[in-house]
Chain A
Amino acid sequence: TQLLEQSPQFLSIQEGENLTVYCNSSSVFSSLQWYRQEPGEGPVLLVTVVTGGEVKKLKRLTFQFGDARKDSSLHITAAQPGDTGLYLCAGSRANAGKSTFGDGTTLTVKP
């Protein structure tokens, strides 16, 4: 059972376009992380969101945590080829060691 559903699974856009990817769950998480993974490498942490309704910005990336702490979105403005990669969300609960990952969104930004 996949607790975290990410959509879309694949996204191919032109450089300069904007995009939003989603991470949805029926479960409540105490925190949610977004990672970016490139081929042959491990996931790299982008951001952690903790509070329902929280919005965090990282340059051209905007992350939002849903009010009920069940879902999150990642918006990229003016995408660049360097943004290409697999974007993973992971949810975790307080006092539980492990994180649960979604299957990711594979983003391709064409020059």
Chain B
Amino acid sequence: GAGVSQSPRYKVAKRGQDVALRCDPISGHVSLFWYQQALGQGPEFLTYFQNEAQLDKSGLPSDRFFAERPEGSVSTLKIQRTQQEDSAVYLCASSLVSGTLVHEQYFGPGTRLTVT
């Protein structure tokens, strides 16, 4: 596909369960970003990769959140021991270059996580 894809699109988890969210970026895009979007708000930065290197994880809300991009392409965001406050849409975006003047990011459709 030409765009960023994410799976699953919807995930319902019971409190305390672990979840894994997948992102397939646009082929050849160097940078990959994860954002969390609560209802009625803009996306909040979680973490950022350049190729396989995680350069910024300052937005991860707790040590229950972990992201990886082992081969510099597909990325997985893992949330351990989910809590109700983790309920949100998790957006993945990719960008052709990084560290430049312009940051044009292309977003996937998101994964809506509901923790019950």
Q: Which of A's residues lie within 8 Å of B, judged by CB?
A: 4, 6, 30-31, 33, 35, 40-45, 48, 50, 88, 90, 92, 94-104
Q: Which of B's residues lie within 8 Å of A, judged by CB?
A: 4, 31, 33, 35, 40-45, 48, 50, 55-56, 59, 91, 93, 98-110
Q: Known interface pairs A94-B99, A97-B31, A97-B33. Does A44 touch B107 (Cβ–Cβ under 8 Å)? A: yes
Tell me how many residue pairs across A and B have CB atoms closer than 8 Å. 74
16 contacting pairs across A/B (C-beta < 8 A): A6-B42, A33-B103, A33-B104, A42-B93, A42-B107, A42-B109, A43-B43, A43-B107, A45-B105, A97-B33, A97-B48, A98-B48, A98-B56, A98-B59, A99-B33, A100-B45
Q: What B residues does A92 contact at CB under 8 A? A: 102-103
Tell me the bound Cα distance from A43 to B108 in angstroms. Answer: 8
User: What is the CB-to-nearest-CB distance from A27 to chain B, in angstroms, rounded to a whole number?
Assistant: 15
Q: What A residues does B33 contact at CB under 8 A? A: 97-99
Q: Known interface pairs A40-B109, A100-B45. Does A31 touch B40 (Cβ–Cβ under 8 Å)? A: no
Q: What A residues does B59 contact at CB under 8 A? A: 98
Tell me the bound Cα distance from A104 to B91 in angstroms. Answer: 16
Contact residues of B: prevailing secondary structure: loop
Residue on B with the closest CB to A101?
B42
Q: What B residues does A100 contact at CB under 8 A? A: 45
Q: What B residues does A102 contact at CB under 8 A? A: 42
Q: What A residues does B56 contact at CB under 8 A? A: 97-98
Residue on B with the closest CB to A88?
B42
Q: What A residues does B106 contact at CB under 8 A? A: 45
Tell me the bound Cα distance from A44 to B108 in angstroms. Answer: 9
Given contacts A31-B102, A33-B104, A97-B50, 19 further A-B contacts (CB under 8 A): A31-B103, A42-B107, A42-B108, A42-B109, A43-B43, A43-B91, A45-B104, A48-B104, A90-B42, A90-B105, A92-B103, A95-B99, A96-B99, A97-B56, A97-B99, A97-B103, A99-B103, A101-B44, A103-B42
* Most chain B Cβ neighbours within 10 Å, of A35, A88, A97, A100: A97
Residue on A with the closest CB to B105?
A99
